[in-house]
Amino acid sequence: MGLPFPIFTWWNGTTFGTWMGRRGKTRVGEDSLGNLYFEGGKDPNGITRRWVIYSGSNDASRVPPEWFSWLHHQIDAAPDQALPAPRVWEKPAEPNQTGTRAAYRPSGALEAGGQRARSTGDYEAWTPDA
């Protein structure tokens, strides 16, 4: 092939235009998944623009909750400065697993064997004569 596909395709990562567009912008941080977060410039309403450059495939579910709140201007500073430390009982955020082997499949799903539990006998079917 020999063509540098990231220049033309946005779904595999960033394009050349994205990398060139970050000139003069500020890198704010990086999350545990390797996504990079930037801010700079203003939108027509005067609000600072914020965006993410994904590490790997472009999937919005791969943005952790703390960085989601920063991207949407719910907090002003980077999450490590503005938010308290995570609690012991909090689980780390996971990307959406739909379409992967790790996706949730209930016991009656065809992918999980397709065997449903038998009814317990408390169900009575409706009949028009009753």
- CB distance 75 to 82 below 8 Å: yes
Mind listing the pLDDT tens digit for each residue in 83-125? 888 899 988 888 888 888 888 887 777 777 766 666 666 677 8
Overall pTM > 0.85: no
- 125 exposed, middle or buried (CB, 10 Å; 0-12, 13-18, 19+)? exposed
Q: Is the pLDDT of residue 14 over 70?
A: no
Amino acid at 48: T
The pLDDT of residue 62 is: 86
Mind listing the pLDDT tens digit for each residue in 42-72? 889 999 999 888 887 788 888 998 999 999 9
Which tokens hold the place of 63? 């943005």
The pLDDT of residue 19 is: 61
What is d(CA 130, CA 127) in angstroms, rounded to the nearest whole number? 6
Domains of the chain, residue spans: 5-112
What is d(CA 116, CA 38) in angstroms, rounded to the nearest whole number? 49
Q: What are the two backbone dihedrals, phi and then psi, of residue 120, each rounded to the nearest 5 degrees?
A: -90, 0
- CB distance 103 to 109 below 8 Å: no
